[in-house]
Amino acid sequence: MTERRLCAAFYLPKGGDAPVERLADDAGITQLETVSWGPAGEPAVVGAWGGLDCEAFVLPLTYFDALVVTFREDEFRALRPGSENPATDPALSLTQAFRNACSRLDPAGAFITDHAWDDPLWYLAREEEPVLNGHLVALAHERLALLYLPAAEVGLVRSAGEINDRDTVAVDGGGLLLFRGSGTERWQRAS
């Protein structure tokens, strides 16, 4: 079994005073325990999210505070065989958890990455600029495992042709979740 970690990131307004426990609860993480410290020495919580054991912490960035939810790569890969219908996908609980978290947290942008970066904090900091500048078309073009588009960005991403061949899930308030692909390939990376 691998200990490599993947993550979901939610880019939230800078300077919120909400403790990680409240943000994690808002994101739908259950069985919360504050038992660890994040990479920059900030409090972290462990719990369960979308059918996966997870750890969550707030990463302070230049323009946003990112709620980061990490989980084991092998547990994620076990969920991903995919099915033609998103409603019967083995990863449905993760999709629903991500959708519900986006609905409750209302981030400027959010995604799940299925690449175990050597330095995930660098990657999350790098993606802050496209979120800040409303360049979610660029993030959609990256074909992340799952990308949240706020309602204001859906039309722009659609007009750029980035939605055409991909499964989507509606989010309350007009937002949209955009998978990497469609059908049994919705979670799969291109070969």
Q: Is residue 95 part of a domain?
A: yes
d(CA 9, CA 58) in angstroms, rounded, equals: 9
Q: Is residue 190 part of a domain?
A: no
d(CA 130, CA 117) in angstroms, rounded, equals: 18
Instruction: Write out pLDDT tens, residues 46-102.
Output: 999 999 999 999 999 999 999 999 999 889 888 766 667 767 777 888 999 999 999
Q: Is residue 126 part of a domain?
A: yes
| DSSP per residue, 140-165 | HHTT-SEEEE-HHHHHHHHHTTSSTT
Q: Is residue 79 part of a domain?
A: yes
Q: How many structural domains comprise the chain?
A: 1
Residue 173, domain extent: 5-185
Instruction: Write out pLDDT tens, residues 86-142.
Output: 677 778 889 999 999 999 999 999 999 988 888 888 889 999 998 888 778 888 888
Q: Is residue 37 part of a domain?
A: yes
Q: Is residue 191 part of a domain?
A: no
Which amino acid, residue 163? I
> Considering the entire predicted model, what is its pTM?
0.91
Q: Is residue 16 part of a domain?
A: yes
Q: Is residue 151 part of a domain?
A: yes
C-alpha separations of 29 from 89, 90, 99 in Å: 20, 19, 13
